[in-house]
Structure 1
C-alpha cells in the first residue's frame, strides 16, 4: 500500500519563465487585432456546442394521488390560456416565447420575444 500522505515539494527551478511574454497592462492600450481574432475564434467554438430547445405548452402541479387517479380519457387542466404564447426553453432555462406553426406537415415555432441574456453581447 502506498503512502498517501506524501507531499511533493515545490521547486521554483522547475518553472520555465524564459519564454513567457507579458503584455503591457496600461489602461490606455487599445485591444489588438490578435485579441479580436482570438475572441472570434473562441466564439466560433461555442457556436458548435449543441443545446436542446424545448417548446413548453403549459404545466400544472397536482398531488401524486390525483395523478394516480388519472386514466385514459382523464382531463388535467393546465395553467395557460388558449392563445397565450408558449415558453421556449434552452437546456431547461427560459429563453423567450413563441407560437406554434406548421411547415411542410412538421411543427415549428415562430419566436415572439427573446428574453435578455448575458450571451446577447457575445459576438458584438
Structure 2
C-alpha cells in the first residue's frame, strides 16, 4: 500500500512539473501582485522606563525559543496536495500587505509586516497581541 502511495505521489509530482504552474487552493485564480521591496533603515531602539531585567529573567536570556512567522493558511484536499509540484501556487487566506502573525513556541504573540533587509526577509513588529488573544497555534 505504501508503495502505491509513493508511486502516486511521484506520478503527481512528475505531471505537475511538466504541466507548468498550477493554482491549488480554494479558488482557481492566483493573486500574484507585482510587489516591489523598498529599502529601509533599522532604527536604534532604546529601552523605555521600567525596562530593567529582573535577575530571574536574566538567567533565562540564553534559552532558545522557536519563532514562527505565519503568512497565512489554507485547507487542501489530499488529492490537491498530491498534485503539488514545482511551480504550483497555493493560495492563502490573507491578502498581500496584510499583517503576518508571529508565534513564539506556538503561542501567538504579535503581528507585523514583512520587509526585506540585506536580501533576507524580516518582520517589523507592529502590534503585540493582548493576553486575551494569545492562543496556541493550531
Superposition TM-score tier, normalisation by shorter sequence: 0.5 to 0.7
Q: Whose RCO is larger (CA < 8 A, sep 6+)?
A: 2
Give the RMSD, CA atoms, in angstroms: 2.2
How far did 1:101 drift? 1.5
Larger Rg: 1
Corresponding position: 1:44 with 2:61 = no
Matches of 2:106 and 2:123, distance apart in 1: 17
Instruction: Find the counterpart in structure 1 of residue 76 from structure 2.
Output: 62
Matches of 2:86 and 2:122, distance apart in 1: 28
**TM-score of the aligned structures, taking structure 2 as reference length:** 0.51
Q: What number of residue pairs does the alignment pair up?
A: 80
Map residues 38-117 of structure 1 onto 2, 5 A cutoff: 40-117=54-131
Give the gaps of 5 or more residues in structure 1.
1-38, 119-124
The one-character-per-residue Cα deviations of 1:58-117 (angstroms, maximum 9, x if unpaired) are 121112122112223222211111110011111121111111112222222110101124
Matches of 1:44 and 1:110, distance apart in 2: 24
Q: After the TM superposition, which segments of 4 or more aligned residues of structure 1 sit over 3 Å from their partners?
A: none
